[in-house]
């Protein structure tokens, strides 16, 4: 399952990069358009990642569950799942996708699921490395602090086989987490209010 998702994301990155080249770098990433995932796709991803969501969950529910699984804010999640070399997907767009205000394409769900798979592998490795300190992969991820990028080398060295795309995703994840300002909080996945046109400056922020 992990290699299937990695292969799908590699293909997704290639398709989105080609479309983005035609549309221009300043255009909203092409992966935010396209057919929505089927109910079977949603169920398969939820099962593979052991996510507790309703059997008839909408794509937006799965999308938010994937972000929460990684302990990321909407802004951070937009950086992680954007294809290499492109602009991050903005927090306002992530918000619209999570709240069902914008259709959520299967391509973007695949990208998010592959990122979750890669980071979960890292979280499980980190939990084992710090035996007795964390009771879950999520707990291990929440404990990451500034400078955590250095852990990528130990993680890669410990893997018998790691797809290049997963190494790239884990590296991006650690770079994003390392830039956080210390606030004393460990539960990161805040939710923005639904995006509204004409909102006053500062409203709807995380």
- pTM (2 d.p.): 0.75
User: Who's near 156: CB < 8 A, 6+ residues apart?
Assistant: 162, 167
User: Which tokens belong to 55?
Assistant: 């059997």
pLDDT band at 64 (very low <50, low <70, confident <90, very high): very high
With beta carbons less than 8 A apart as the criterion, state whether 147 and 178 touch. yes
Q: Which of 9-18, 29-38, 105-114 has the lowest mean pLDDT?
A: 9-18
pLDDT at 112: 92
- Please report, for residues 22, 47, 152, 166, the alpha-carbon distance to residue 173 in angstroms, rounded to integers and kept in the order given: 28, 23, 10, 10
Condensed to tens digits (0 to 9), the pLDDT of residues 75-130 reads 999 999 986 656 888 999 999 999 999 888 888 898 899 999 999 999 999 989 88
Mean pLDDT across the chain, nearest whole number?
Answer: 78
- Give residue-wise pLDDT tens across range 164-180: 889 999 999 999 999 88
pLDDT of 44 higher than 90: yes
Which residues contact residue 27 at a Cβ distance below 8 angstroms, ignoring those fewer than 6 apart?
A: 20
The answer to whether residues 31 and 111 touch, using CB atoms and an 8 Å cutoff, is yes
**How wide is the angle at C-alpha 173 spanned by C-alphas 12 and 121, nearest 5°?**
80
Q: What share of the chain is helix, strand, coil (3-state, %, to 5)?
A: 55, 0, 45
Give the H/E segment covering residue 22.
Answer: helix 2-23
SS3 1: coil
């Amino acid at each position: 399952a992990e290699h299937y998702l990695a292969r799908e994301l590699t293909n997704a990155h290639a398709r989105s990069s080609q479309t983005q080249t035609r549309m221009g770098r300043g255009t909203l990433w092409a992966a935010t358009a396209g057919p929505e995932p089927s109910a079977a796709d949603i169920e398969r991803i939820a099962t593979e990642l052991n996510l507790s969501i309703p059997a008839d969950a909408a794509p937006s529910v799965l999308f938010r569950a994937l972000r929460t699984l990684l302990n990321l804010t909407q802004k951070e999640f937009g950086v992680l799942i954007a294809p290499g070399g492109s602009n991050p997907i903005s927090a306002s767009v992530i918000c619209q996708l999570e709240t069902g205000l914008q259709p959520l394409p299967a391509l973007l769900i695949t990208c998010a699921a592959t990122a979750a798979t890669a980071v979960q592998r890292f979280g499980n490795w980190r939990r084992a490395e710090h035996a007795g300190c964390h009771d879950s992969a999520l707990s291990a991820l929440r404990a990451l602090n500034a400078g955590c990028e250095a852990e990528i080398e130990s993680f890669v060295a410990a893997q018998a086989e790691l797809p290049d795309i997963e190494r790239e995703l884990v590296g991006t994840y650690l770079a994003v987490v390392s830039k956080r300002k210390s606030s004393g909080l460990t539960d990161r996945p805040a939710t923005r209010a639904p995006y509204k046109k004409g909102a006053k400056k500062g409203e709807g922020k995380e």
